[in-house]
Amino acid sequence: MEQKTYVYRETIYRRKVKFTGAYAGVIGLAALFYFLFKGVNFLLIPVMIVCLYTYWETYVSLANPQEIVIDDRAIIFRGCGKEHVWLWKDIYSFRVKEFVTDRKIFLRINKADMLKGRYWINCMYFNDTDELYMFLRDKEYEMHPNTMKAVARRTNEEEFLQRQKDKAEGKTDSSSGKKKYRIKGKL
C-alpha cells in the first residue's frame, strides 16, 4: 500500500474542533476561577468538568485528528501541532465503534488512555470519506477476525452473496416467492 493522506476540511475543522475546544477551555477556566475565588457553586462543577475535558480532548490528547496518514509501516494522526505515530507491527488492538449514519468512527488503539490511543474520526469531513471509513472497518476485521462483530459481518456477507446467486439462478421459495435463509456462523 502506498502512503495515503486523509485531511479534514480546514474550515470545518477550525469551526467544529479548534473553536469548540478553545471556547470550552475559556468557559472551563472562567468556571474554575469563579469556583476558586467567588465561592463554591456546585452548578459550576459539571460545567467546569465538561469544558476542561473538551479542551483536553482537542488540544492535549489529539482525540480529533485533522490529518491521518496510512501506509504499510504505520498509521499517523496529526492535529493541533501534535502527532501520534502507531507502527502496525506494534498494534495488537484496533477497535472500531461505528456510527454509520454520520460516517463517524470512534477508534481505540492498544491500551488507549487519556493521552493517546482514542480518536474520533468524522470521516464525512475527510477527503475520500468512504475509502477512509471502509479502511478502518476492514482493518479491525483483519486484526480481529474471531470477534462476534466479525462473525456477524461474515455471515451477512455470505447471506447477501447467496441471495444474489439465488436471484441470478431464479431460485425462490414456492409459497412466498422468497428464499428462506438460516443464519449460520461459528463463534
Q: Is the pLDDT of residue 187 over 60?
A: no
- pTM, whole model, 2 decimals? 0.78
Task: Give me the pLDDT at residue 100, please.
Answer: 83
Does an H or E element contain 95, and which?
strand 94-99
Q: Give the tens place of pLDDT for each residue, 81-135.
A: 899 999 999 999 999 999 888 889 999 999 888 889 999 999 999 999 889 999 9
Taking the alpha carbons at both ends of the chain, their separation in whole angstroms is 31
Q: Is the pLDDT of residue 80 over 60?
A: yes
Residue 17 cell numbers, joined: 474542533
| Cross-strand partners of 95 | 108
Q: Which amino acid, 71?
A: D
